[in-house]
Amino acid sequence: MKKWVIAPPDPAAVKALSASGLSPLCCQVLVSQGIVSMDQAVSRMGSTSLSDPFAIIDMMPAADALNAAIDAGERICVYGDYDCDGVMATVILYSYLSSMGADVTWRIPERSEGYGLNEQAVREMHADGVQMIVTVDNGISAVPEAALIRELGMSLVITDHHQPGPTLPEAAAVVDAHRQDNTSTFRLYCGAGIALLLVAAMSGGDLEMAIEQFGDLAAIATVADVVPLIGENRYLVQIGLDYLENTERPGLIALRERAGLKDKTLTAQNISFGISPRINAAGRLRSPRLAVELLLEEDPSRAAALAAEIDEINAARKSCEAEIVKNVLASVVNDPDRLHDRVLIFAGEDWHMGVIGIVAARLQERYGRPCFMVSLHDGIGHGSARSFGDFSVFDCLTACEDLFEKFGGHPAAGGFTIKEENLDAFRQRVAAYAAEHHPTMPVMETRVACTLKKESLTVEAVESLSQLEPFGADNPEPVFLAENAQILDIRSFGQGIHTRLTVRVDGQDYAAKVFRVAPADLGIRANEVVHLLVRPEVNRWNGSENVELVVQDYRPAGLQQTKILAALAAYDQWRRGEALPKAWYPAILPSREDLTHVYKCLPTEGIRIDRLANAMFRAGMNHCKLRLCLDVFCELGLAASTDGEVTVHRVVPAARADLGSSQILARLSALAKE
């Protein structure tokens, strides 16, 4: 269960922002995100151009060095990275240098080589006659590699957007807006954004030319790399989307068609879900060279073939993820208590290292706790971790650093290499770290802009939200609360996979869609009053237009979030074998009547446990007691949980079950009497 964080209303701030010309609903959204003054609004949304590229430290020396290398006929290698940002940055700079007549080649390390420059790659470039290496989207930490480049008589230009360490690599120029001695006003570009600015700098500061030629690629990279979509990044994506709509690159045209976006308006969201995952898939499962070749290809038929190949790789990536998740869920069948650890840690043989980070993110979303995934091969584990809230992956890894061969990361994500023999110690160390530093673990949150009233649900008001686009990191698509919505009708659509509701909100009736949830799995009934988290959209059909609601989450009206979250935390403590306050045991001990009621509500065809919890809430039962009832049934063979304790179904027993034989009930009863 996610915690709904609803921004308090601030009518005065909304009124003050209304002078900007934004709609009242847009102003409410901005205020909910802490934008309460015109200056803040302008900083977030007011950029209408990119800054002078020469404002970034070392941009002038970088441009001069590259232009001099072109004039001298030196062989240049653009060295990128295997993710979408690195691919786009490579294509931008390579294409420009090639158009200027440079003797230029490009190189991107395979994922197996690891991120950034490495000694073998440097020596191979030297053997190929490269005289200048220019990095894009990497290089800021390549101190030993930079020394080797100098030793071999080559020159180096670094362009990066990652945080620098205490020592900068020795190079002709180190372009990174995050350098402490940088004074430019905007620092949040991705690697491709820096590459675009370098192109402009090499042409005397011609930003218009750089954006016209490469704005489409930079926009994709900016979205894909999840840099904040504010200020100049917002402008770059806005204008880049315009160029992307009319791109002449055969590779992008073919990829757009493969992603099912040929006849759809391109947005930051469908780039994030349709375009960038395909670019990333090439580097995750095969080779990032395929993605670069696709974007450089000028023959439409060849581009179509490459796009088809990448699309197949993306499909394989999805299958690979699903297989790893299946393996994880199979691994916990004999030890399901692991799903209730403060931090989830899973390890498996030869899981694809290119996708374990994605799987970690999916399992984190599924179970609402940080997740560490480890792929084992020949006694060595390569790990990837994801987290949220105030649980820092990097701090946790630092507490275990003596167990690793190497590690790195930041609060939300990280990677590490560990010997298999150290895995058990790693599990224990992470559990101890989490218990000491986070006795109460963070809860995943959904930020809610405001409560919707009927005046906010007009076509004009909903359409005005487009003024806040493009949505992305630090500028999320807003979610709203439809409070006390009455369910008037429930129907299926999409071959029974999805649900269409008719709901009454603030006295008006609206259609609402719940995707990937069938009516039978909703856990709510007609005429019930619920709270809905929604994204409103305008539906146009047959010349008419009306507002529809896309449901993101829902729960019964009257549910007390704090109590539910406390009940969930108590159940996790119980499953971890931790002691609860003595007064809690009588409150969570199920009575025979509780058990009977839950069993009667348990379908043989199965139900999601969180949906069953909604039904039990109406009966006044808290989530901890419900889960204990289900545990008793599973213990006695009267029920079975599946899909990693996400769903549960009734089992018809071969013989009559005796509640008196339940060890769970016996233990709870004894604790309740103490």
C-alpha 637/C-alpha 625 separation (Å) is 18
What are the beta bridge partners of residue 404? 418
Q: Which of 597, 443, 465, 435 is nearest to 534 (CA)?
A: 465
Residue 495's SS3 state is coil
**Architecture category of domain 53-306 in CATH:** Alpha-Beta Complex (3.90)
Confidence of residue 619 (pLDDT cuts 50, 70, 90): confident
Q: Radius of gyration over alpha carbons of the chain, in Å?
A: 28
Q: State residue 524's pLDDT score.
A: 87
Residue 229's SS3 state is coil
| Residue at token pair 């940088």 | 182
CA distances from 185 to 53, 55, 224, 312, 470 (A): 11, 8, 23, 42, 21
What number is the average pLDDT over the span 154-168? 95
Q: State residue 614's pLDDT score.
A: 84
List the beta strands (DSSP E) in 151-223. 155-159, 173-175
The predicted-structure confidence for 122-132, as pLDDT tens digits, reads as follows: 999 999 999 99
Give yes or no for residue 14 having a pLDDT over 90. Answer: yes
Q: Which of 74, 84, 190 is nearest to 134 (CA)?
A: 74
The residue that leads in pLDDT, 91 or 654, is 91
Q: Which of 153, 156, 193 is nearest to 171 (CA)?
A: 156
What number is the average pLDDT over the span 593-616? 91
Percent of the chain residues topping a pLDDT of 90? 90
Q: State residue 90's pLDDT score.
A: 98
Give yes or no for residue 617 having a pLDDT over 90. Answer: no
Helix (H) or strand (E) holding 414: strand 413-419
Cβ neighbors of 243 (< 8 A, separation 6 or more) are 211, 212, 215, 216, 219
Q: State residue 46's pLDDT score.
A: 84
Cβ neighbors of 47 (< 8 A, separation 6 or more) are 186, 231, 232, 234, 235
Question: Do residues 258 and 303 make contact, with C-beta atoms less than 8 angstroms apart?
Answer: no
CA distances from 140 to 225, 291, 410 (A): 17, 24, 16
Question: Do residues 268 and 472 make contact, with C-beta atoms less than 8 angstroms apart?
Answer: yes
Is CATH 1.10.10 correct for 561-673?
A: yes
Q: State residue 543's pLDDT score.
A: 86
Q: State residue 70's pLDDT score.
A: 98
Tokens of 411: 């609060």
Which residues of the chain are in CATH 3.10.310.30 domains? 320-437
Give yes or no for residue 387 having a pLDDT over 90. Answer: yes
Question: Do residues 418 and 426 make contact, with C-beta atoms less than 8 angstroms apart?
Answer: yes
Q: Which of 472, 476, 478 is nearest to 28 (CA)?
A: 478
Confidence of residue 165 (pLDDT cuts 50, 70, 90): confident
Q: State residue 465's pLDDT score.
A: 96
Residue 365's SS3 state is helix
- Max CA distance (Å), the chain: 89
Give yes or no for residue 272 having a pLDDT over 90. Answer: yes
Cβ neighbors of 653 (< 8 A, separation 6 or more) are 636, 637, 638
Query: For the structural domain made of 447-556, what CATH number should be given?
Result: 2.40.50.460
Confidence of residue 202 (pLDDT cuts 50, 70, 90): very high
Give yes or no for residue 654 having a pLDDT over 90. Answer: no
C-alpha 240/C-alpha 247 separation (Å) is 10
Question: Do residues 502 and 510 make contact, with C-beta atoms less than 8 angstroms apart?
Answer: yes
Question: Do residues 537 and 550 make contact, with C-beta atoms less than 8 angstroms apart?
Answer: yes
C-alpha 292/C-alpha 221 separation (Å) is 13
Q: State residue 674's pLDDT score.
A: 86
What number is the average pLDDT over the span 36-64? 94
DSSP 421-456: GGHHHHHHHHHHHHHHH-SS----EEEE--B--GGG
User: Quick count: other Cβ atoms within 10 Å of Cβ 488?
Assistant: 13
Q: State residue 459's pLDDT score.
A: 96
Q: State residue 283's pLDDT score.
A: 94
Which residues of the chain are in CATH 3.90.1640.30 domains? 53-306
Q: State residue 43's pLDDT score.
A: 87
List the beta strands (DSSP E) in 565-608. 607-608
- In single-letter form, the type of residue at position 188 comes to L
What number is the average pLDDT over the span 5-20? 91
Which residues of the chain are in CATH 2.40.50.460 domains? 447-556
Give yes or no for residue 523 having a pLDDT over 90. Answer: no
C-alpha 306/C-alpha 62 separation (Å) is 33
What number is the average pLDDT over the span 482-499? 96
According to CATH, the topology of domain 320-437 is Diaminopimelate Epimerase; Chain A, domain 1 (3.10.310)
Letter string b/e over residues 139-166, b meaning 16 or more CB atoms within 10 A of that residue's CB = bbbbeebbebbeeeebbbbbbbbbebee
Sign of the C-alpha dihedral computed for residues 478, 479, 482 and 487 taken in this order? positive
Strands 498-505 and 639-642: unpaired
C-alpha 246/C-alpha 609 separation (Å) is 47
What number is the average pLDDT over the span 408-420? 92
DSSP for residue 603: -
Tokens of 213: 């030629």
Confidence of residue 112 (pLDDT cuts 50, 70, 90): confident
Name the phi and psi angles at 414, rounded to 5.
Answer: -170, 170
Q: State residue 115's pLDDT score.
A: 86
The predicted-structure confidence for 280-318, as pLDDT tens digits, reads as follows: 999 999 999 999 999 999 999 999 999 999 999 999 999
205-219, 523-537, 564-578, 649-663: least confidently modelled range: 649-663
State the average pLDDT for the chain. Answer: 95
C-alpha 230/C-alpha 263 separation (Å) is 28
Strands 155-159 and 344-349: unpaired
| Residue at token pair 């370098």 | 198
C-alpha 326/C-alpha 337 separation (Å) is 17
List the beta strands (DSSP E) in 424-543. 445-448, 480-493, 498-505, 508-514, 529-541
Confidence of residue 615 (pLDDT cuts 50, 70, 90): confident
Percent of the chain residues topping a pLDDT of 70? 100
CA angle 516, 628, 556 (to 5 degrees): 45
Tokens of 409: 């990361």
Question: Do residues 480 and 534 make contact, with C-beta atoms less than 8 angstroms apart?
Answer: yes
- In single-letter form, the type of residue at position 490 comes to I
What are the beta bridge partners of residue 375? 348, 382
Q: Omega into 470 within 30° of 0, i.e. cis?
A: yes
What are the beta bridge partners of residue 648? 607, 641
Confidence of residue 19 (pLDDT cuts 50, 70, 90): confident
What number is the average pLDDT over the span 30-34? 95
Which residues of the chain are in CATH 1.10.10 domains? 561-673
DSSP 267-326: -HHHIIIIIHHHHHHHHHHS-HHHHHHHHH---HHHHHHHHHHHHHHHHHHHHHHHHHHH
Q: State residue 408's pLDDT score.
A: 85
DSSP 35-83: --SHHHHHHHH---SPPPGGGSTTHHHHHHHHHHHHHTT-EEEEE--SS
Give yes or no for residue 520 having a pLDDT over 90. Answer: no
CA distances from 350 to 347, 415, 625 (A): 9, 16, 39
Q: State residue 148's pLDDT score.
A: 98
Tokens of 525: 């009934």
73-82, 328-337, 611-620: least confidently modelled range: 611-620
